[in-house]
Amino acid sequence: MINLDFFLEILFPSLLEGLIMTMQLICWSIPIGLVMGVIIAIGRVYGNVLVSFFSKAYIIFFRGTPLLILLFILYYGFPSIGIYLSPFVAAVIGFVLCSSSYHAEYIRGAIQSVRSGQVLAAQALGMSKLSAVFNIVLPQALRRAIPGCSNEIIYLIKYSSLAFMVTCIELTGAGKIVASRYFTYTEVFLVIGAIYLIIVSLATKLLNILEERASFPGWENRK
Amino acid sequence: MKGPEGMNQKKELILRIKDIHKSFGGKEVLKGISFDVYKGETKVIIGPSGMGKSTLLRCINQLTFPDQGTIWLRDQEVTHHNLREINLFRQKIGMVFQDFNLFDHLDAVRNVEIALIKVKGMKKEEAREKAMHELKKVGLGKQASLYPAQLSGGQKQRVSIARALAMDPEVMLFDEPTSALDPELIGEVLGVMQKLAREGMTMVVITHEMGFARSVADEIIFLEKGKLLESGPPEILFYQPKYERTRRFLFKLTELYGDLNGKK
Protein backbone atom coordinates (compact mmCIF):
# COMPACT_ATOMS: atom_id res chain seq x y z
CA MET A 1 0.00 0.00 0.00
CA ILE A 2 2.63 2.50 1.01
CA ASN A 3 4.81 3.08 -1.96
CA LEU A 4 6.17 5.87 -4.06
CA ASP A 5 2.88 6.17 -5.94
CA PHE A 6 1.03 6.99 -2.74
CA PHE A 7 3.42 9.86 -2.06
CA LEU A 8 3.57 11.15 -5.61
CA GLU A 9 0.00 10.73 -6.73
CA ILE A 10 -2.08 11.08 -3.60
CA LEU A 11 -0.23 12.70 -0.73
CA PHE A 12 1.85 15.39 -2.44
CA PRO A 13 -0.91 16.83 -4.64
CA SER A 14 -3.28 17.29 -1.73
CA LEU A 15 -0.51 18.54 0.55
CA LEU A 16 0.44 21.03 -2.15
CA GLU A 17 -3.09 22.39 -2.15
CA GLY A 18 -3.00 22.53 1.62
CA LEU A 19 0.39 24.21 1.55
CA ILE A 20 -0.89 26.90 -0.79
CA MET A 21 -3.74 27.55 1.62
CA THR A 22 -1.33 27.71 4.56
CA MET A 23 0.87 30.16 2.71
CA GLN A 24 -2.15 32.32 1.92
CA LEU A 25 -3.20 32.25 5.57
CA ILE A 26 0.18 33.32 6.87
CA CYS A 27 0.86 35.79 4.09
CA TRP A 28 -2.30 37.67 5.05
CA SER A 29 -2.07 37.20 8.79
CA ILE A 30 1.57 38.16 9.35
CA PRO A 31 1.55 41.66 7.82
CA ILE A 32 -1.92 42.60 9.05
CA GLY A 33 -1.07 41.26 12.49
CA LEU A 34 2.13 43.29 12.58
CA VAL A 35 0.46 46.52 11.51
CA MET A 36 -2.31 46.01 14.07
CA GLY A 37 0.32 45.23 16.68
CA VAL A 38 2.13 48.50 15.96
CA ILE A 39 -1.13 50.46 16.16
CA ILE A 40 -2.19 48.84 19.42
CA ALA A 41 1.28 49.35 20.91
CA ILE A 42 1.30 53.04 19.96
CA GLY A 43 -2.20 53.40 21.37
CA ARG A 44 -1.12 51.77 24.58
CA VAL A 45 1.98 53.94 25.06
CA TYR A 46 0.93 57.30 23.61
CA GLY A 47 -2.84 57.18 23.55
CA ASN A 48 -5.07 59.18 25.85
CA VAL A 49 -6.82 57.42 28.73
CA LEU A 50 -9.52 56.00 26.51
CA VAL A 51 -7.24 54.76 23.71
CA SER A 52 -4.75 53.34 26.17
CA PHE A 53 -7.55 51.55 28.01
CA PHE A 54 -8.91 50.13 24.77
CA SER A 55 -5.45 48.91 23.77
CA LYS A 56 -4.89 47.25 27.13
CA ALA A 57 -8.29 45.59 26.98
CA TYR A 58 -7.55 44.37 23.45
CA ILE A 59 -4.31 42.78 24.58
CA ILE A 60 -5.81 41.20 27.68
CA PHE A 61 -8.76 39.85 25.74
CA PHE A 62 -7.06 38.42 22.66
CA ARG A 63 -3.90 37.25 24.37
CA GLY A 64 -5.92 35.70 27.13
CA THR A 65 -8.38 33.71 25.05
CA PRO A 66 -7.32 30.42 23.48
CA LEU A 67 -6.98 30.91 19.75
CA LEU A 68 -9.14 27.89 19.09
CA ILE A 69 -12.01 29.39 21.12
CA LEU A 70 -11.56 32.64 19.21
CA LEU A 71 -11.82 30.77 15.90
CA PHE A 72 -14.91 28.86 17.04
CA ILE A 73 -16.61 32.09 18.11
CA LEU A 74 -15.77 33.75 14.79
CA TYR A 75 -16.84 30.86 12.62
CA TYR A 76 -19.54 29.02 14.54
CA GLY A 77 -20.71 31.76 16.87
CA PHE A 78 -20.94 34.82 14.67
CA PRO A 79 -23.65 33.45 12.34
CA SER A 80 -26.04 33.66 15.30
CA ILE A 81 -25.61 37.46 15.23
CA GLY A 82 -25.93 37.47 11.48
CA ILE A 83 -22.26 37.61 10.54
CA TYR A 84 -21.21 34.83 8.20
CA LEU A 85 -17.49 34.50 7.63
CA SER A 86 -15.85 32.13 5.19
CA PRO A 87 -13.49 29.63 6.83
CA PHE A 88 -10.52 31.47 5.35
CA VAL A 89 -11.63 34.90 6.53
CA ALA A 90 -12.57 33.61 9.98
CA ALA A 91 -9.13 32.02 10.31
CA VAL A 92 -7.26 35.14 9.17
CA ILE A 93 -9.25 37.36 11.53
CA GLY A 94 -8.59 34.99 14.42
CA PHE A 95 -4.87 34.83 13.65
CA VAL A 96 -4.60 38.59 13.27
CA LEU A 97 -6.33 39.26 16.59
CA CYS A 98 -4.17 36.79 18.44
CA SER A 99 -0.91 37.62 16.72
CA SER A 100 -1.35 41.40 16.98
CA SER A 101 -1.91 41.23 20.73
CA TYR A 102 1.45 39.49 21.15
CA HIS A 103 3.22 41.81 18.71
CA ALA A 104 1.74 44.79 20.56
CA GLU A 105 3.45 43.77 23.78
CA TYR A 106 6.83 43.17 22.12
CA ILE A 107 6.60 46.51 20.36
CA ARG A 108 5.41 48.33 23.47
CA GLY A 109 8.48 47.09 25.32
CA ALA A 110 10.68 48.21 22.44
CA ILE A 111 9.05 51.66 22.28
CA GLN A 112 9.55 52.16 25.99
CA SER A 113 13.22 51.23 25.71
CA VAL A 114 13.98 54.06 23.26
CA ARG A 115 15.56 56.86 25.27
CA SER A 116 12.86 59.44 25.84
CA GLY A 117 15.30 62.33 25.44
CA GLN A 118 15.21 61.72 21.70
CA VAL A 119 11.53 62.63 21.56
CA LEU A 120 12.26 65.80 23.52
CA ALA A 121 15.05 66.64 21.09
CA ALA A 122 12.74 66.07 18.13
CA GLN A 123 10.06 68.24 19.70
CA ALA A 124 12.60 70.94 20.45
CA LEU A 125 13.30 71.00 16.70
CA GLY A 126 9.63 71.68 16.05
CA MET A 127 8.53 68.14 15.27
CA SER A 128 5.06 67.18 16.41
CA LYS A 129 4.83 64.31 18.87
CA LEU A 130 3.26 62.13 16.18
CA SER A 131 6.06 62.90 13.73
CA ALA A 132 8.65 62.19 16.43
CA VAL A 133 7.02 58.83 17.14
CA PHE A 134 7.02 57.87 13.47
CA ASN A 135 10.41 59.28 12.47
CA ILE A 136 12.46 58.74 15.60
CA VAL A 137 10.89 56.23 17.98
CA LEU A 138 9.37 53.63 15.66
CA PRO A 139 12.44 53.14 13.44
CA GLN A 140 14.37 52.22 16.57
CA ALA A 141 11.59 50.38 18.39
CA LEU A 142 10.72 48.18 15.42
CA ARG A 143 14.36 47.16 15.08
CA ARG A 144 14.41 46.27 18.75
CA ALA A 145 11.18 44.33 18.44
CA ILE A 146 12.43 42.12 15.60
CA PRO A 147 13.59 39.20 17.80
CA GLY A 148 10.33 39.12 19.78
CA CYS A 149 8.13 39.58 16.77
CA SER A 150 10.08 36.90 14.91
CA ASN A 151 9.13 34.52 17.66
CA GLU A 152 5.49 35.38 17.24
CA ILE A 153 5.67 35.03 13.46
CA ILE A 154 7.12 31.56 13.83
CA TYR A 155 4.35 30.66 16.27
CA LEU A 156 1.81 31.94 13.79
CA ILE A 157 3.19 29.74 11.02
CA LYS A 158 2.68 26.75 13.27
CA TYR A 159 -0.67 27.64 14.79
CA SER A 160 -2.04 28.37 11.32
CA SER A 161 -2.80 24.64 11.43
CA LEU A 162 -5.74 25.51 13.69
CA ALA A 163 -7.55 26.91 10.65
CA PHE A 164 -8.39 23.33 9.92
CA MET A 165 -10.70 23.37 12.97
CA VAL A 166 -12.93 25.88 11.21
CA THR A 167 -12.95 23.81 8.01
CA CYS A 168 -10.29 25.82 6.23
CA ILE A 169 -8.36 22.99 4.64
CA GLU A 170 -4.74 23.98 4.90
CA LEU A 171 -1.63 21.81 5.15
CA THR A 172 -2.55 19.97 8.34
CA GLY A 173 -6.18 19.54 7.31
CA ALA A 174 -5.28 18.23 3.88
CA GLY A 175 -2.87 15.77 5.45
CA LYS A 176 -5.40 14.66 8.03
CA ILE A 177 -7.92 13.84 5.30
CA VAL A 178 -5.42 11.74 3.38
CA ALA A 179 -4.13 10.08 6.52
CA SER A 180 -7.52 8.93 7.74
CA ARG A 181 -8.62 7.74 4.32
CA TYR A 182 -5.51 5.62 3.75
CA PHE A 183 -4.67 5.07 7.42
CA THR A 184 -1.15 6.42 6.95
CA TYR A 185 -0.87 8.73 9.94
CA THR A 186 2.82 8.21 10.62
CA GLU A 187 3.98 8.88 7.07
CA VAL A 188 1.66 11.80 6.48
CA PHE A 189 2.40 13.64 9.70
CA LEU A 190 6.11 13.04 9.41
CA VAL A 191 6.00 14.69 6.00
CA ILE A 192 3.82 17.55 7.27
CA GLY A 193 6.09 18.06 10.26
CA ALA A 194 9.05 18.29 7.91
CA ILE A 195 7.25 20.82 5.72
CA TYR A 196 6.50 23.07 8.73
CA LEU A 197 10.10 22.72 9.80
CA ILE A 198 11.26 23.84 6.36
CA ILE A 199 8.87 26.82 6.28
CA VAL A 200 9.91 27.87 9.77
CA SER A 201 13.61 27.48 8.92
CA LEU A 202 13.19 29.64 5.83
CA ALA A 203 11.26 32.24 7.82
CA THR A 204 13.93 32.21 10.53
CA LYS A 205 16.61 32.75 7.93
CA LEU A 206 14.70 35.65 6.37
CA LEU A 207 14.05 37.24 9.75
CA ASN A 208 17.73 36.93 10.68
CA ILE A 209 18.72 38.63 7.45
CA LEU A 210 16.19 41.36 8.19
CA GLU A 211 17.59 41.79 11.68
CA GLU A 212 21.11 42.07 10.31
CA ARG A 213 20.10 44.53 7.59
CA ALA A 214 18.28 46.67 10.13
CA SER A 215 21.22 46.96 12.48
CA PHE A 216 23.45 50.01 12.50
CA PRO A 217 26.70 50.91 14.25
CA GLY A 218 26.16 50.91 17.98
CA TRP A 219 23.32 48.50 17.56
CA GLU A 220 25.10 45.18 17.24
CA ASN A 221 26.51 45.35 20.76
CA ARG A 222 22.98 45.32 22.12
CA LYS A 223 22.47 41.78 20.91
CA MET B 1 34.22 90.37 24.42
CA LYS B 2 31.56 90.45 21.78
CA GLY B 3 31.56 90.56 18.02
CA PRO B 4 30.98 93.79 16.16
CA GLU B 5 27.20 93.39 15.93
CA GLY B 6 26.61 92.41 19.53
CA MET B 7 27.15 95.72 21.24
CA ASN B 8 26.66 99.41 20.64
CA GLN B 9 23.67 99.10 18.35
CA LYS B 10 20.12 99.70 19.42
CA LYS B 11 19.09 96.71 21.46
CA GLU B 12 16.77 94.34 19.65
CA LEU B 13 14.66 92.23 21.97
CA ILE B 14 14.68 88.51 21.09
CA LEU B 15 13.34 86.80 24.17
CA ARG B 16 11.28 88.10 27.07
CA ILE B 17 10.74 85.85 30.06
CA LYS B 18 8.11 87.29 32.32
CA ASP B 19 7.16 86.10 35.79
CA ILE B 20 7.50 82.37 35.13
CA HIS B 21 6.12 80.06 37.81
CA LYS B 22 6.26 76.28 37.78
CA SER B 23 5.46 73.65 40.37
CA PHE B 24 6.00 69.93 40.34
CA GLY B 25 3.94 67.89 42.76
CA GLY B 26 3.22 70.81 45.03
CA LYS B 27 6.85 71.96 45.10
CA GLU B 28 7.36 75.30 43.43
CA VAL B 29 10.65 75.15 41.52
CA LEU B 30 10.27 78.48 39.71
CA LYS B 31 8.87 81.36 41.69
CA GLY B 32 8.46 84.16 39.23
CA ILE B 33 11.49 84.49 36.98
CA SER B 34 11.80 87.43 34.60
CA PHE B 35 14.56 88.56 32.28
CA ASP B 36 15.08 89.77 28.72
CA VAL B 37 17.52 88.53 26.13
CA TYR B 38 18.64 90.88 23.38
CA LYS B 39 20.01 90.05 19.95
CA GLY B 40 23.57 88.81 20.00
CA GLU B 41 23.61 88.51 23.76
CA THR B 42 24.87 85.53 25.73
CA LYS B 43 23.14 84.97 29.04
CA VAL B 44 24.62 82.44 31.39
CA ILE B 45 22.41 80.93 34.06
CA ILE B 46 24.10 79.47 37.11
CA GLY B 47 22.81 78.11 40.35
CA PRO B 48 22.72 75.01 42.52
CA SER B 49 21.41 71.78 40.99
CA GLY B 50 17.75 70.94 41.32
CA MET B 51 16.83 74.60 41.52
CA GLY B 52 14.84 74.77 38.31
CA LYS B 53 17.44 75.92 35.80
CA SER B 54 16.59 73.20 33.29
CA THR B 55 12.89 73.65 33.95
CA LEU B 56 13.24 77.34 33.18
CA LEU B 57 14.98 76.58 29.88
CA ARG B 58 12.28 74.06 28.97
CA CYS B 59 9.59 76.59 29.77
CA ILE B 60 11.14 78.89 27.17
CA ASN B 61 10.50 76.47 24.29
CA GLN B 62 7.41 75.01 25.92
CA LEU B 63 8.78 71.52 26.44
CA THR B 64 7.44 72.25 29.90
CA PHE B 65 4.40 74.47 30.23
CA PRO B 66 4.78 77.13 32.90
CA ASP B 67 1.92 77.38 35.42
CA GLN B 68 1.98 81.14 35.22
CA GLY B 69 3.82 83.83 33.34
CA THR B 70 4.57 84.51 29.70
CA ILE B 71 7.36 83.98 27.20
CA TRP B 72 7.79 86.27 24.22
CA LEU B 73 9.85 85.67 21.11
CA ARG B 74 10.38 89.11 19.59
CA ASP B 75 6.88 90.61 19.65
CA GLN B 76 5.00 87.31 19.68
CA GLU B 77 3.80 85.52 22.75
CA VAL B 78 4.97 81.89 22.82
CA THR B 79 2.88 80.81 25.79
CA HIS B 80 -0.79 79.94 25.57
CA HIS B 81 -0.78 78.61 22.06
CA ASN B 82 -1.93 75.38 20.56
CA LEU B 83 0.61 72.70 19.76
CA ARG B 84 0.82 73.52 16.08
CA GLU B 85 1.80 77.11 16.82
CA ILE B 86 4.20 76.01 19.52
CA ASN B 87 5.96 73.79 16.97
CA LEU B 88 6.52 76.89 14.83
CA PHE B 89 8.10 78.72 17.76
CA ARG B 90 10.28 75.75 18.64
CA GLN B 91 11.82 75.86 15.17
CA LYS B 92 13.11 79.32 16.01
CA ILE B 93 14.43 78.33 19.43
CA GLY B 94 17.33 75.90 19.18
CA MET B 95 18.04 73.63 22.11
CA VAL B 96 21.07 71.62 23.12
CA PHE B 97 20.72 69.05 25.86
CA GLN B 98 23.11 67.82 28.52
CA ASP B 99 23.00 64.24 27.26
CA PHE B 100 22.98 65.16 23.53
CA ASN B 101 19.81 63.22 22.67
CA LEU B 102 21.03 62.41 19.19
CA PHE B 103 18.84 60.08 17.17
CA ASP B 104 20.63 56.76 17.58
CA HIS B 105 19.50 55.21 14.31
CA LEU B 106 20.70 58.07 12.09
CA ASP B 107 24.25 59.00 11.16
CA ALA B 108 25.52 62.48 11.94
CA VAL B 109 24.40 64.17 8.73
CA ARG B 110 20.95 62.60 8.87
CA ASN B 111 20.63 63.67 12.50
CA VAL B 112 21.09 67.22 11.29
CA GLU B 113 18.93 67.04 8.18
CA ILE B 114 15.90 65.11 9.43
CA ALA B 115 14.15 68.13 10.94
CA LEU B 116 14.93 70.16 7.83
CA ILE B 117 13.09 67.55 5.77
CA LYS B 118 10.29 66.59 8.15
CA VAL B 119 9.66 69.95 9.78
CA LYS B 120 10.75 72.57 7.27
CA GLY B 121 9.76 70.48 4.26
CA MET B 122 13.11 71.07 2.59
CA LYS B 123 14.09 68.95 -0.41
CA LYS B 124 16.50 66.12 0.36
CA GLU B 125 19.47 67.44 -1.60
CA GLU B 126 19.02 70.91 -0.21
CA ALA B 127 18.74 69.58 3.34
CA ARG B 128 21.84 67.44 2.85
CA GLU B 129 23.81 70.43 1.66
CA LYS B 130 22.67 72.56 4.58
CA ALA B 131 23.39 69.73 7.05
CA MET B 132 26.90 69.26 5.69
CA HIS B 133 27.48 73.00 5.93
CA GLU B 134 26.45 73.00 9.60
CA LEU B 135 28.57 69.94 10.38
CA LYS B 136 31.60 71.61 8.80
CA LYS B 137 30.95 74.67 10.92
CA VAL B 138 31.31 72.59 14.07
CA GLY B 139 34.37 70.85 12.62
CA LEU B 140 32.74 67.52 11.85
CA GLY B 141 32.64 67.48 8.06
CA LYS B 142 34.62 64.24 8.02
CA GLN B 143 32.39 62.52 10.57
CA ALA B 144 29.14 63.03 8.64
CA SER B 145 28.54 59.35 8.01
CA LEU B 146 29.31 58.16 11.53
CA TYR B 147 26.55 57.05 13.89
CA PRO B 148 26.18 58.45 17.40
CA ALA B 149 27.69 55.29 18.88
CA GLN B 150 30.84 55.89 16.81
CA LEU B 151 31.31 59.47 18.00
CA SER B 152 32.98 60.76 21.16
CA GLY B 153 30.92 62.72 23.64
CA GLY B 154 32.34 66.00 22.42
CA GLN B 155 31.59 65.11 18.82
CA LYS B 156 28.05 64.06 19.73
CA GLN B 157 27.45 67.38 21.41
CA ARG B 158 28.82 69.24 18.40
CA VAL B 159 26.47 67.27 16.12
CA SER B 160 23.57 68.23 18.37
CA ILE B 161 24.65 71.89 18.14
CA ALA B 162 24.80 71.58 14.34
CA ARG B 163 21.36 69.97 14.39
CA ALA B 164 19.89 72.90 16.30
CA LEU B 165 21.74 75.50 14.19
CA ALA B 166 20.50 73.98 10.95
CA MET B 167 17.01 75.27 11.76
CA ASP B 168 18.39 78.84 11.68
CA PRO B 169 17.09 79.63 15.16
CA GLU B 170 16.73 83.14 16.55
CA VAL B 171 18.12 82.00 19.87
CA MET B 172 19.97 78.94 21.16
CA LEU B 173 19.34 77.38 24.54
CA PHE B 174 22.09 75.25 26.08
CA ASP B 175 21.20 73.02 29.02
CA GLU B 176 24.51 72.15 30.69
CA PRO B 177 26.08 71.21 27.36
CA THR B 178 29.37 70.05 28.82
CA SER B 179 28.27 68.39 32.07
CA ALA B 180 28.18 64.89 30.61
CA LEU B 181 31.59 65.18 28.96
CA ASP B 182 35.02 63.99 29.95
CA PRO B 183 37.19 66.94 30.97
CA GLU B 184 39.38 66.71 27.87
CA LEU B 185 36.34 66.90 25.57
CA ILE B 186 34.79 69.97 27.15
CA GLY B 187 37.10 72.37 25.34
CA GLU B 188 35.97 71.44 21.83
CA VAL B 189 32.31 72.07 22.70
CA LEU B 190 33.03 75.33 24.49
CA GLY B 191 35.15 76.35 21.51
CA VAL B 192 32.18 75.95 19.18
CA MET B 193 29.95 77.88 21.56
CA GLN B 194 32.49 80.67 21.89
CA LYS B 195 32.66 80.92 18.12
CA LEU B 196 28.87 81.10 17.95
CA ALA B 197 28.78 83.86 20.52
CA ARG B 198 31.42 85.80 18.62
CA GLU B 199 29.44 85.44 15.41
CA GLY B 200 26.51 87.13 17.11
CA MET B 201 24.25 84.19 17.98
CA THR B 202 21.83 84.94 20.78
CA MET B 203 22.31 82.34 23.50
CA VAL B 204 21.01 81.32 26.90
CA VAL B 205 23.42 78.91 28.54
CA ILE B 206 23.19 76.92 31.73
CA THR B 207 26.72 75.97 32.66
CA HIS B 208 29.18 75.53 35.47
CA GLU B 209 32.07 76.48 33.20
CA MET B 210 33.05 79.76 34.76
CA GLY B 211 35.92 80.35 32.36
CA PHE B 212 33.42 80.24 29.52
CA ALA B 213 30.98 82.46 31.41
CA ARG B 214 33.71 84.95 32.15
CA SER B 215 34.82 85.18 28.54
CA VAL B 216 31.53 85.24 26.62
CA ALA B 217 28.66 86.08 28.96
CA ASP B 218 27.11 89.52 28.70
CA GLU B 219 25.17 88.77 31.81
CA ILE B 220 25.20 86.05 34.42
CA ILE B 221 21.98 85.12 36.16
CA PHE B 222 22.17 83.44 39.53
CA LEU B 223 19.11 81.33 40.27
CA GLU B 224 18.52 80.05 43.72
CA LYS B 225 15.49 78.40 45.28
CA GLY B 226 13.41 79.19 42.24
CA LYS B 227 14.21 82.88 42.31
CA LEU B 228 16.52 85.13 40.41
CA LEU B 229 18.78 86.08 43.29
CA GLU B 230 21.21 88.28 41.43
CA SER B 231 22.28 89.08 37.89
CA GLY B 232 24.87 91.22 36.20
CA PRO B 233 27.86 91.26 33.90
CA PRO B 234 30.59 88.79 34.88
CA GLU B 235 32.98 91.51 36.10
CA ILE B 236 30.40 92.67 38.63
CA LEU B 237 29.06 89.27 39.64
CA PHE B 238 32.48 87.71 40.08
CA TYR B 239 34.16 90.55 41.91
CA GLN B 240 31.45 92.59 43.58
CA PRO B 241 28.39 90.39 44.09
CA LYS B 242 25.59 91.86 46.15
CA TYR B 243 25.02 88.74 48.13
CA GLU B 244 27.37 86.62 50.17
CA ARG B 245 25.51 83.56 48.82
CA THR B 246 26.46 84.46 45.23
CA ARG B 247 30.06 85.01 46.18
CA ARG B 248 30.30 81.65 47.94
CA PHE B 249 28.66 79.80 45.05
CA LEU B 250 30.94 81.36 42.46
CA PHE B 251 33.95 80.72 44.63
CA LYS B 252 33.08 77.04 44.82
CA LEU B 253 32.49 76.79 41.07
CA THR B 254 35.76 78.43 40.15
CA GLU B 255 37.55 76.22 42.63
CA LEU B 256 36.01 73.17 41.00
CA TYR B 257 35.97 74.14 37.36
CA GLY B 258 39.10 76.19 36.74
CA ASP B 259 39.97 79.83 37.01
CA LEU B 260 38.26 82.92 35.74
CA ASN B 261 40.45 83.61 32.79
CA GLY B 262 39.06 80.83 30.72
CA LYS B 263 42.13 78.65 31.13
CA LYS B 264 41.80 75.20 32.56
ipTM for the predicted complex comes to 0.89
What confidence score (pLDDT) does residue B264 get? 41
Domain that holds residue A166: 17-216
Note whether residue A143 is domain-resident: yes
pLDDT exceeds cutoff 80 at B263: no
Tell if the CB–CB gap between B105 and A122 is shorter than 8 Å: no
Query: Does the structure show a pLDDT above 90 at B67?
Result: yes
pLDDT at B252 over 90: no
What mean pLDDT is predicted for residues A160-183? 94
Residue A62 lies in a domain: yes
Task: Answer yes or no: are the C-beta atoms of B27 and B55 closer than 8 Å.
Answer: no
Look at residue A221 and tell me whether its pLDDT is greater than 80. no
User: Is residue B122 over pLDDT 70?
Assistant: yes
**Mutation for testing the B interface, residue in A46, A111, A123, A125 having most B CBs under 10 Å:** A125
Q: What is the arithmetic mean of pLDDT over B147-162?
A: 95
Domain count, chain A: 1
pTM beyond cutoff 0.90: no
Question: What is the nearest CA distance from B85 to chain A, expressed in angstroms?
Answer: 10
Nearest to A121 among B97, B105, B146 (CB): B97
Q: Which amino acid is at B138?
A: V
Q: Predicted confidence band at B138 (pLDDT cuts at 50, 70, 90)?
A: very high
Mutate to test the interface with A, among B63, B97, B99, B101 (most CBs of A within 10 A): B101
Which residues of chain B does A125 touch, with a Cβ-Cβ cutoff of 8 Å?
Answer: 90-91, 115, 119, 163-164, 167
Assign A1 a pLDDT band (cuts: 50, 70, 90): low
Give the helix/strand (H/E) hosting B244: helix B244-257
- Tell whether domain B13-257 is in CATH 2.60.40.790: no
Which chain A positions have a beta carbon within 8 Å of B97's beta carbon? 117, 120-121, 124
Interface of A with B in 111-130 (CB under 8 A): 114-115, 117-118, 120-129
CA dist A185 and A187 (Å) reads 6
Domain for residue A99, yes or no?
yes
Residues A24-42, mean pLDDT to the nearest whole number? 97
| Domain locations along chain B | 13-257
CATH number at A141 reads 1.10.3720.10
A123 CB neighbours in chain B (<8 A) are 63, 87, 90
Lowest mean pLDDT among A38-52, A127-141, B150-164, B244-258: B244-258
A127/B105 touch (CB, cutoff 8 Å), yes or no: no
A23 vs B249, residue with greater confidence:
A23
pLDDT of residue B82: 86
**Residue A5: is its pLDDT beyond 90?**
no
Interface contact A122-B90, CB threshold 8 A: no
User: Does the residue A3 lie in any domain?
Assistant: no
- In this predicted structure, which of A169-173, B3-7, B114-118, B199-203 has the lowest mean pLDDT? B3-7
For residues B237-261, average pLDDT: 79
Indicate the pLDDT class of residue B1, thresholds 50, 70 and 90. Answer: very low
- Annotate chain A with DSSP letters as a single string: --SHHIIIIIIHHHHHHHHHHHHHHHHHHHHHHHHHHHHHHHHHHHS-HHHHHHHHHHHHHHHHS-HHHHHHIIIIIGGGGT----HHHHHHHHHHHHHHHHHHHHHHHHHHHS-THHHHHHHHTT--HHHHIIIIIHHHHHHHHHHHHHHHHHHHHHHGGGGGGGT---HHHHHHHHHHHHT-HHHHHHHHHHHHHHHHHHHHHHHHHHHHHH--TTTGGG-
* Residues in chain B closer than 8 A to A114 (CB atoms): 104
Average pLDDT for B218-226: 93
Give chain B's mean pLDDT: 90
Q: Is residue A142 part of a domain?
A: yes
Half-sphere exposure of A126 (CA within 13 A, CB side): 24
What mean pLDDT comes out for the span B53-71? 94
Q: Please check the confidence at residue B4 and state whether its pLDDT lies above 60.
A: no
pLDDT value at position A2?
A: 60
Q: Which of A115, A129, A217 sits opposite B150 (nearest CB)?
A: A217
Return mean pLDDT, chain A: 93
Q: Which of A108-117, B168-177, B185-194, B243-252 has the lowest mean pLDDT?
A: B243-252
A143 vs B: CB within 8 A:
yes
In-domain check, residue A2:
no
Q: Do A126 and B88 touch (CB under 8 A)?
A: yes
Q: Collect all residues of chain B within an 8 Å Cβ-Cβ radius of residue A131.
A: 118-119
Q: What is the pLDDT of residues A61-95, one digit of tens each?
A: 999 999 999 999 999 999 999 999 999 999 999 99
pLDDT at B6: 46
Burial tier of B129 (Cβ tally within 10 Å: 0-12, 13-18, 19+): middle
Partner-chain contact B97 A120, CB within 8 Å: yes
Tell me how far CA of residue A10 lies from CA of A1, A3, A74, in angstroms: 12, 11, 32
- Mutant choice from B58, B91, B96, B104 vs A, greatest count of A C-beta within 10 A: B104
Give pLDDT tens digits for A189-206. Answer: 999 999 999 999 999 999
| Residue A216 pLDDT grade (very low, low, confident, very high; cuts 50, 70, 90) | confident
In the predicted structure, residue B200 carries a pLDDT above the cut 80: yes
Confidence band of B53 (pLDDT split at 50, 70, 90): very high
What residues of chain A lie within 8 A of the CB of B165, using their CB? none
Task: Give me the pLDDT at residue A142, please.
Answer: 95
Q: What is the mean pLDDT of residues B53-80?
A: 92
Q: pLDDT tens digits for B31-41?
A: 999 999 999 99
- Please report whether residue A9 resides in a domain: no
Structural domain includes residue A11: no
Contact flag A218-B148 (C-beta cutoff 8 Å) = yes
